[in-house]
Structure 1
Amino acid sequence: MARPKEIAGVSIPDGALAVEAAELVRDTESDLLFDHSLRVYLFGSLQGRRLGLTFDPELLYIGALFHDMGLTEKYRSPKERFEVDGANAAREFLRRHQVPEASIDVVWDAIALHTTPGIPKWKPPVVALVAAGVELDVIGLGYDDVSAQDRDAVLAAFPRVDFKRSIVRAFADGIAHKPETAFGNIKADVLERLLLGYVRPNFCAMIDASPFPD
């Protein structure tokens, strides 16, 4: 089924690179993750428009598309954070298409930092806006920054279906085999809720356990 070319006044990139990226992610992710990724692009774009930011829509689109690829069976690694797995998948894809390294670095940072609050907003707009789109769609941060009309248009195109429960489950399933990667980021909350026997690491306890005498 053909997808709309514009939603809430935001154009959907349709160049060869964007189309191939969307097809790859569509073939890899669940409906839950794919539709979430499209909402991240749209909400991030709307926040960028509100803030008057200048950004490359195609790079934002690819960053949004790949941001959760590290949760998938195909791209999840044994030991790296899922954000890094997704960033590496995007880097590999973009390098195959000979995208300049500076642009690849921006997309890599956008994906790798999307669960690290407080930092993306100080980075280039694509990095900031992937995080803003994620924050809006997952936890509602900036909900009132987007008009009800625009929110409704986004949700009509890419509906939320049992999203609050299902996205937490998807996070847990994607990192349950490497719970140590949740240390220091928000995914420890997910494992604490859903992974039986998980004990959240404590940074102060790590300092106490250091082999140094003092």
Structure 2
Amino acid sequence: MTVTLPPAISGINIPDTALTRAITEYIRDIETELLFNHSSRVYFFAALAGQNRGLSFNAELLYAATMFHDIGLMPSHSSPNLRFEVDGANAALAFLQSYHIDPSDIEKVWTGIALHTTPGIPQFMHPIIALTTAGVEMDVLGLSYKDYPDNIREAVVAAFPRTPAFKEDIIQSFYDGIKHKPETTFGNVKADVLADKDPHFHRGNFCSIIRCSHWAG
């Protein structure tokens, strides 16, 4: 299959390597168009954030982390009892191992994916980890929306379009990917998705777990 790379955006492009081409084909074959385009935008927003912050990062590794970050939402890569973030991280690990990537680099990608829904921590870690979350937060939450000029945002969306109702579409996609294992959302933001979509969902309560433990006092 021929992979057509988009033009550079403000000096940022997808590295034209065997690894990135293989990642593109793999993710495009498995994910929905919604998630593939979302993940591609996340890469550009992440790399642009790195450029703006003056960070040094390996673009191939960042591409791997951003493109695999939501694959755990797909039935083919969803485990019965692990957080979808861990499913995605494990999928990236297996893929990168098949390309004999350095284990320390794979660990950065794994951690970036595993922590991408855990705010307040990734920004203090390695650029691959920090930027993966930054890209996700920009495309889904718009947290740094005003940090990107209009023409840059428009160029990224032109290359990888958002659906007309992307906000609701991505929430539905999250729900579809985690509704079969609600217990895995304890303590993370995806519990909000289940609460929004399922009127019968009861989120876990940290204090209740403490009080109901086997300890006497």
TM-score by length of 1: 0.98
| One of 140, 154, 157 as aligned partner of 1:155 | 157
The aligned residue for residue 54 of structure 1 is: 56
Choose from 184, 190, 194 the match for 2:197.
Answer: 194
Partner of residue 177, structure 2: 174
Q: Which moved more, 1:173-182 or 1:4-13?
A: 4-13
Gap runs ≥5 in structure 2: none
Distance in structure 2 (CA, Å) of the matches to 1:205 and 1:174: 27
Structure 2 residue identity aligned to 1:57: A
Pair 1:207-2:210 in alignment:
yes
Match of 2:112, as an amino acid?
Answer: A
Is 2:143 the counterpart of 1:141? yes
Query: Among the aligned pairs, what percent are the same residue?
Result: 51
How many Å separate the matches in 2 of 1:97 and 1:78? 27
Distance 2:92 2:23 in 1: 9
Question: Any conservation in 2 of the 1:172–1:195 contact (CA below 8 Å)?
Answer: no
Kept in 2, the 8 Å contact 1:84–1:111? The answer is yes
- Counterpart of 1:112 in structure 2 is 114
Determine which of 124, 132, 157 is the counterpart of 2:134.
132
Please say if residues 8 and 154 of structure 1, whose CA atoms lie closer than 8 Å, have aligned partners that are also in contact: no
Match of 1:38 in 2: 40
Gaps of 5+ in 1: none
| TM norm structure 2 | 0.96
Q: 1:3: Cα distance to partner?
A: 3.2
Partner residue in 1 for 2:6: 4
Please report how far the alpha carbon of residue 147 of structure 1 lies from its aligned counterpart in structure 2 after TM superposition.
1.2
The count of aligned residue pairs is 214
Task: Output the amino acid matched with 1:177.
Answer: H
Query: What is the CA distance between 1:200 and its match in structure 2?
Result: 1.1
User: What is the one-letter code of the residue matched to 1:77?
Assistant: S
Q: Distance in 2 between matches of 1:9 and 1:33?
A: 24
CA distance in 1, matches of 2:7, 2:76: 29
Partner of 2:167: 164
Question: Is the 1:38–1:158 contact (alpha carbons within 8 Å) kept by the matching residues of 2?
Answer: yes
Matched letter for residue 45 of structure 2: F
What is the Cα deviation at residue 8 of structure 1? 3.4
- The one-letter code sitting in structure 2 at the alignment partner of 1:194 is K
Q: Report the residue type matching 1:107 in the other structure.
A: V
The one-letter code sitting in structure 1 at the alignment partner of 2:21 is: V
Aligned position for 2:104: 102
Which runs of at least 4 in structure 1 moved beyond 4 Å after TM superposition? none
Rounded to whole Å, the distance in 1 between the matches of 2:10 and 2:90 is 31
Deviation at 1:5, TM superposition (A): 3.7
Query: Which residue, 183, 187, 190 being the options, matches 2:186?
Result: 183
Contact 1:66 1:87 in 2 (8 A): yes
Deviation at 1:201, TM superposition (A): 1.1
**C-alpha distance in structure 1 between counterparts of 2:10 and 2:159, whole Å:** 10
